[in-house]
């Protein structure tokens, strides 16, 4: 048992790494610059650079000693005009370069330096084979930049990182290991605090849905299996296909309009008392019922034709007792697997129900984050959901052994 748990935990490592790589690829590589997404197209390069530095997006993606910066980007060096007797060309930079070590692929640079505190100006000339490296001392900034010597087709200015592994990916992995999901750009709060506030409301909505849905589903499934082929079975089967085909959006809107608005049975919107939860829970149960009943019925029917059922009947046990004590017990494994698959969603919440009924849960938080491009929050919910899924899978496998003594772990 212990060895099995350890082995399963080790098996989770590559999958977790996969989840990290996938989310990293999605949010850092495919998504382009988060600064541009959050600040918009009209933001100045300086604002973008400040945003990057603040959230660590100015580091290289995987590893490297140098990282591209926004002050210059890729600039067409050949088109620069040479001026004056120095023979140097003036390079427009988008903002004053702060302290740090820089590298430029030119043979000669003239730096116009300015001390931030006193405003004192200074100049420095660096000569040598391209690329040139120069350092700016603490408290000073580079306000003008002139280059000379043989110029390359594109001028590149890069900043030195704190180390070869000082990259976005390493920082990201390290932060996640310590449980730090970064700062929400929308709320300006640590993501963990934003998420913690959402867990309670989400659970108060999703736990009743899961428990209620499972109970009703299993009861209907048992009923169908007991009277298989009969009228009740057929009606439930047809109804479940119909229920499955109604769009989720429609359930929510119809519930709100007919039950809450027309009949005034429930409050329409809000999260103040228990009454506000009744309608969303009801909708959650009904919308999932079709799929659940069909699955439970199939799982129970797999057992109904087995010889032990006939033995039980021959012993003269009542039909109800056979169904519940014998058949249900044996069909619990697929049922538990099925239920366990929806447990991660208990925490990530129900996007639709929460946003429609104004329940401040995780689903609502993540939907708002998607609308306002708050990457850190979306990323955190995705990762947490994936980790929970794996954890729940492990617990489910352990449950098998408890439910069915024939299952040997290890």
Partner 1 sequence: MSALIDEKRNGALKGERTVWKKLWRRWDTRLCLLTVGIYCLAATYGEGVYQYYRAADQTAPYNAVHESCRYVPPAFVRVLTGTPAVAGCSLYPLGSDNLGRDVFQRLVQGTRIAFHVGIITSLIAIPLGVILGCLGGYFGGRVDSLVVWLCATVASMPGLLFILAIAMVVGQGLLGVYLGIGLTTWVSVCRNVRGEVIKHRGRAYVQAAQVLGYSHARIMFRHILPNVTHIILIAFSIRFPASVATEVFISFLGIGVQGEPSWGIMINNARLRLWQGVWWEMTFVTLAIFALVLAFNHLADALRDLLDPALRTEQV
Q: Which residues bind partner 1 (CB under 8 A)?
A: 14-15, 18-19, 22, 26-27, 30-31, 241-242, 244-250, 253, 257, 261, 291, 294-295, 298, 334, 338, 341, 344-345, 348, 351-352, 366-367, 370-371, 373, 378-379, 381-382, 385-387, 389-390
Between the alpha carbon of residue 386 and those of residues 65, 155, 161, 233, 364, the distances in Å are 32, 43, 32, 37, 18
Cβ closer to partner 1: 29 or 219? Answer: 29
Ranges assigned E (strand) in 28-177 = 66-68, 74-76, 82-83, 88-91, 100-104, 108-115, 121-127, 132-136, 140-148, 154-160
3-state secondary structure 173-210: HHHHHCCCCCECCCCCCEHHHHHHHHHHHHHHHHHHHH
Task: Name the minimum Å distance from CB 160 to partner 1.
Answer: 30
Place of tokens 């021959």: 314
Spatial distance between the Cα atoms of 49 and 102, rounded to a whole number of angstroms:
15
Between the alpha carbon of residue 89 and those of residues 36, 81, 107, 296, the distances in Å are 30, 6, 12, 76
Cβ closer to partner 1: 106 or 339? Answer: 339
Strand partners, 126: 109
Cβ closer to partner 1: 99 or 242? Answer: 242
Cβ closer to partner 1: 14 or 129? Answer: 14
Cβ closer to partner 1: 3 or 262? Answer: 262
Cβ closer to partner 1: 33 or 192? Answer: 33
Give the tokens for residue 79: 């088109």
Cβ closer to partner 1: 95 or 347? Answer: 347
Helix, strand or coil for residue 290? Answer: helix
């Amino acid at each position: 048992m212990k060895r099995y748990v350890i082995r399963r935990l080790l098996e989770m490592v590559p999958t977790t790494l996969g989840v990290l790589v996938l989310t990293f690829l999605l949010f850092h590589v495919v998504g382009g610059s988060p600064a541009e997404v959050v600040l918009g197209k009209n933001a100045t390069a300086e604002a973008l650079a400040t945003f990057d530095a603040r959230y660590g997006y100015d580091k290289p993606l995987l590893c490297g000693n140098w990282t591209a910066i926004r002050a210059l980007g890729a600039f067409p060096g050949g088109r620069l005009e040479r001026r004056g007797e120095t023979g140097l060309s003036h390079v427009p930079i988008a903002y004053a370069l702060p302290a740090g070590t820089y590298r430029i692929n030119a043979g000669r640079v003239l730096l116009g330096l300015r001390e931030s505190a006193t405003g004192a100006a200074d100049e420095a000339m660096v000569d040598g084979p391209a690329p040139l490296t120069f350092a700016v001392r603490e408290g000073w900034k580079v306000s003008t930049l002139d280059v000379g010597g043989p110029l390359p087709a594109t001028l590149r200015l890069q900043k030195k990182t704190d180390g070869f592994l000082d990259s976005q990916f390493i920082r990201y992995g390290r932060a996640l290991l310590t449980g730090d999901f970064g700062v929400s750009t929308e709320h300006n709060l640590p993501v963990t605090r934003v998420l913690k506030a959402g867990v309670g409301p989400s659970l108060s909505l999703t736990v009743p849905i899961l428990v209620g849905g499972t109970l009703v589903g299993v009861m209907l499934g048992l009923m169908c299996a007991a009277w298989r082929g009969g009228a009740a079975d057929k009606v439930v089967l047809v109804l479940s296909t119909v229920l499955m085909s109604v769009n989720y959006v429609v359930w929510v809107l119809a519930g709100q309009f007919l039950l809450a608005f027309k009949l005034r049975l429930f409050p329409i919107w809000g999260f103040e008392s228990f009454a506000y939860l009744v309608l969303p829970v009801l909708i959650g149960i009904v919308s999932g019922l079709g799929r659940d009943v069909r699955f439970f019925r199939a799982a129970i029917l797999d057992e109904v034709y087995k010889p032990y059922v006939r033995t039980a009947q021959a012993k003269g046990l009542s039909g109800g007792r056979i169904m519940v004590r014998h058949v249900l017990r044996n069909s619990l494994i697929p049922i538990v697997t099925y239920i366990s698959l929806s447990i991660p969603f208990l925490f990530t919440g129900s996007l639709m129900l929460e946003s429609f009924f104004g329940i401040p849960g995780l689903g609502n938080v993540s939907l708002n984050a998607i609308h306002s491009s708050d990457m850190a929050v979306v990323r955190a919910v995705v990762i947490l959901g994936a980790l929970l899924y794996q954890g729940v899978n492990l617990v489910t496998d352990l449950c098998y052994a408890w439910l069915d003594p024939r299952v040997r772990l290890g």
